[in-house]
Amino acid sequence: MILLLPAALAACTGPNRETDAKSIIATSCASCHVVPGVPGANGNVGPPLTGIGSRQVIAGYFTNNRPNMVRWITHSQSMLPNNAMPDTNLTPDQANEVAQYLSTLR
């Protein structure tokens, strides 16, 4: 029973996390970016995020790793002042959910 519990929890949180990330992306990223797997995310203002999980560089400047991605999503203007992507109003937790989902797009 105790052994089964983590598996059951994983089954619960797995899809929900992805759903959460997708709904954040739908409201906060979709107008500017194509994001595979998120209906309506077909903006053409910023680059398409197809394959972003295996892309090596963020915004043409920064190594693509989790801390950089989370920071880029929340504070792109302090990382690269005056670039076209605004600071989103996402919390670090929300940005982490989004970054987790993006890392699966390979």
SS3 63: strand
**Minimal distance in Å, beta carbon 8 to other proteins?**
26
Whichever of 64 and 88 has its CB closer to other proteins, that residue is: 88
Residue 17 near residue 31 (C-beta atoms within 8 A):
no
Q: How far apart are CA 60 and CA 54, in angstroms?
A: 14
Q: How far apart are CA 60 and CA 52, in angstroms?
A: 12
Whichever of 32 and 65 has its CB closer to other proteins, that residue is: 32
Residue 47 near residue 33 (C-beta atoms within 8 A):
yes
Residues lying near other proteins in the complex (CB under 8 A): 23, 26-28, 30-32, 39-40, 43-45, 77, 81-89
Tokens representing residue 76 in the block: 């792109």
Whichever of 6 and 81 has its CB closer to other proteins, that residue is: 81
Whichever of 70 and 85 has its CB closer to other proteins, that residue is: 85
